[in-house]
Amino acid sequence: MASVTVNEELCKGCGLCVDACPKNIMRLDSAKINQKGYHTAHCAEPENCIACAFCATMCPEVAITVEK
């Protein structure tokens, strides 16, 4: 199973990773706010991740790490 890690303090909640994911499994967490005041992203269904790393490539903050 792939592992998608978001550095929550780098994330600015832009949602580009959500739009980029071909499996539609990246989500912004409406219940969580980081120190900068942004809702942070996370992978909601890691079991369905294909480790394409589109999310990581799209992230302008380089906040996402994808490991197989």
3-state SS of the chain: helix, strand, coil percent to 5?
20, 30, 50
Near ligand SF4 by CB under 6 A: residue from 3, 5, 6, 35: 6
Beta bridge partners of 42: 27
- Residue 52 lies near ligand SF4 (rule: CB under 6 A): yes
Whole-number Å distance between alpha carbons of 42 and 58: 14
Q: How far is the CB of 31 from ligand SF4 (least distance, A)?
A: 15
Which residues lie near ligand SF4 (CB under 6 A)? 2, 4, 6, 11-17, 20-23, 25-26, 41, 43, 49-55, 58-59, 61, 63-64, 66
